[in-house]
Structure formats: structure tokens, C-alpha cells
Amino acid sequence: MQKKVLITNFAIRDYTGSEIDSLDIANYFLKQDYKVDIFTLNFNEPLKSKVNKEIFVYTYDDVEKLSTHYDLIWAHHFPLLDYLLFNKKITATYINFVSLSSYDPLEFPPLYYEELSNLCLLSEEAKKVYEEKIELKDTTIFPNYIPNEFLDVAPKEVKELNKICIISNHVPEELEKCAEIFNNEGIKTDIYGMRHKFEKITPELLKDYDLAITIGKSVLYSLYLKIPCFIYDHFGGDLFLNKDNITNSYNYNFSGRACRIKLSAEEMHQYIKENFEKNLNSLQDNYNFVIQNCMLETNMKNVLNKVYEKKVDFDALFKKYGYLKNYTEPYVRDVFYRNNMHQIELSNNINNLSIISSLKEQVKSLTKEKDEFYKQMTEMNNEITKIVNSKSWYVTKPFRGIYRLFSKKK
């Protein structure tokens, strides 16, 4: 009988870390011949069309279509897991909760994490952060990884710096300015992420560049393709990776928080220009590190071996934590409907593009009329100024006073 897995994630919509991760994990299980379901509160474009047609995605509106029992639940974001377990009474032989951040409240381990089969954390840094808040008894590090779509792509041979990509959803000001400096000197620099070019980072896209400036999982993508990588984002960064700093950077999920070095735009530009060629010597060592530590197939096998050691005792789970149903359902419902209303508004705006276009043309026309009016007023004021400052205006001043006096008497 075909095994079934349920994956949870707050949204399957944008090209953000947890959303891309959810699809990568779903595709992995699909390849292992699982029936794959996803539960989310926001299923929309641009990511919607990228989901394999054999993967079934359900939201709050059609949650009743989910199976009542799965072989495995692979959960992101604890409110969704709370809702499915305690409100919808969905069970699974094994449950693996994966926390993809130590800073996002939604990534916090569930209150009942000890009752689950396994708790995965993204990095050693995340483990340290959570150990300061809760008593962690048993966890597994499940780091970012190279997705299967990269495996058949040959590495690039970079020789010189001609083209740069910046990949970030939160580009700091100094990095924006650094991009301008590179573009102005003829080294084309593109920025990918929210508020810039917003698209999925594929191996074909990355191989078009000689340097990636980024953090997180796109660092691994670059290193696997043997593209030099400069770690920098809103936390600062670790700069170029080499055998001396790559392990420490990896322990902080290549986030830039290992070193937090801050540079001005000019300093960054100069540093990259001066150290780019030297960094080419580190590409093979960096590639070897990724192969050893960050391959999806290897890391999934390690995690699943751990997960399958412990079945979930639902009787004990419901008895100790069943009260959570009183808090979770209203929250999940509210989030879903707020997201849904946002999408309706967005759809309405798209449908009204012709009206918006017409209004824009009217604004252009009015602006042109306004500019012409101001031009005429300026010319008139200049002419009046000339008259007022002229000698004849000064000589005739007494006569203008007598004229006004007689005008009032009339």
C-alpha cells in the first residue's frame, strides 16, 4: 500500500525559504513513491503553478479532504500542526517538526515537541538560541541542502568578474549602493528577491553569474555550482568563504551572523575587487564541503532513520495537550480569511487595470495642462516684474494714486 505524507507550511505562494523548502521536501517524497499532501493557509501565484500536479495542496476551506491518518507528518509552523492534531483529529504514525529559524515566532517548537517522533533544527546557532528558552532533550540538525534539480547541472568555471547577482528579500542600503557602483563601472549587477526581480533561483539562472552575494540556501546553490559566494545581508556578513571560515558560517546557516562584518558600499566594492581572484582558489574546497554536509538525499535518510525510531502516542498527546484546540482554530481561521481577502483585493485590482490605465492617462493630461499653466504664470510674473521695476512705472506712480482716488469717489 502506498505510504502517505502530509507537509504543513503557512504559505505556498512566494519564493521564500520555507515555501521553497516545502516543495523540495514534497518532491523528495514524491520521488520515494509517497502520496504527498500539503496543508497551507495561502496557496497562490507565483509559486502555485510550480507545484507538481501529483502533489495535492489543501487550505482551510477544503481541510476536510485531508486523510484522517498519515504515515508521516512533516510539519513547519506549529499553529498549523496544533490545528490539524487537536481540532481536526488528524493522526500519523510518525511526526517530524522542522524549525527553519530561531527568530520567527512561527518556527518555535510546539509545546508538545517531546511527544513527537523528532524535532529538527536548522543549525547549531538555532540550537543554542532555543536552549536558552526551553530545555531541549533530543534534536536533529537538518541544515539547508542542495535540491535535486541541481544534481544534473555541471559546475561553472569562473575566471573573471563580469556579472554579479545579489539574492535577498531584505537588501541593506549599502548593498544597494554597491550594486550601483558595479553597474556604473560596467560589471552588470542584478538583484533578486522581494521588491526586485522576484523569481525562483534555478541552476540555469545562477550559472549566468560570476559572483553571488547572498545568505542562506542560495549560498549552497552557488558553492555547488562552483560560483564564488560573498556572504552579506542585513546582519552584515562573513564575506568570501574559504576552508578557514566555512564551518563556522555553516553553523550559523550562512546567515552572516557568524561574523556580522559591516562594510560601506565603497568598502564592499573595493574588498570584492581586491579579493575576487584569490577566492577562486577556494571553490573546490567549498564544493567538497557542500557535498559532505548539504546533500538532500543523505540528510533526509539521516533524519528519517531518527524519526522512524519513535511512534507518536496520540492518547497521551490528546490527554496532556488537548486544550490547545480552544486557541488554535480561531487563529488559523482568521489568518486564512485575512489572506483570502487580500487575494480578492489583489484580483480586483488586476481586473481594474484598464481603469487604472485610463486614470493614469488623465493624470498625465492634467499634469501637462498644469505645467503649461505654470509656464504661462511664470512668464506673466516675469513681465509684471519688468514693468514694476521700470523707470516709467516709477515716474507715473503719483498719477496712479490720483486715478485710484477718483475711481473710489465714483
Calpha distance 227→14 (Å, rounded): 25
pTM (predicted TM-score)? 0.79
Calpha distance 224→221 (Å, rounded): 5
Grid cell 488528524 — which residue? 90
Residue 108: exposed, middle, or buried by beta-carbon count in 10 A (0-12, 13-18, 19+)? middle
Q: What is the side-by-side strand order in the sheet with 91-99?
A: 56-58, 35-39, 4-8, 69-75, 91-99, 118-121, 140-141
Calpha distance 356→343 (Å, rounded): 18
pLDDT of 16 reads 87
Element (H, E) at 178: helix 173-184
pLDDT in tens, the chain (410 residues): 899 999 999 999 988 889 999 999 999 999 999 999 999 999 999 999 999 999 999 999 999 999 999 999 999 999 999 999 999 999 999 999 999 988 888 899 999 999 999 999 999 999 999 998 888 888 999 999 998 889 989 999 999 999 999 999 989 999 999 999 999 999 999 999 988 998 889 999 999 999 999 999 999 999 999 999 999 999 999 999 999 999 999 999 999 999 999 999 999 999 999 999 999 999 999 999 999 999 999 999 999 999 999 999 999 999 999 999 988 888 888 888 887 665 544 444 434 434 334 434 444 454 455 445 445 555 555 555 555 455 554 544 554 444 444 444 44
Structural contact between residues 80 and 332, judged by C-beta atoms closer than 8 angstroms: yes
Residue 319: exposed, middle, or buried by beta-carbon count in 10 A (0-12, 13-18, 19+)? exposed
Grid cell 487604472 — which residue? 356
Tell me the longest C-alpha to C-alpha distance in the chain. Answer: 111
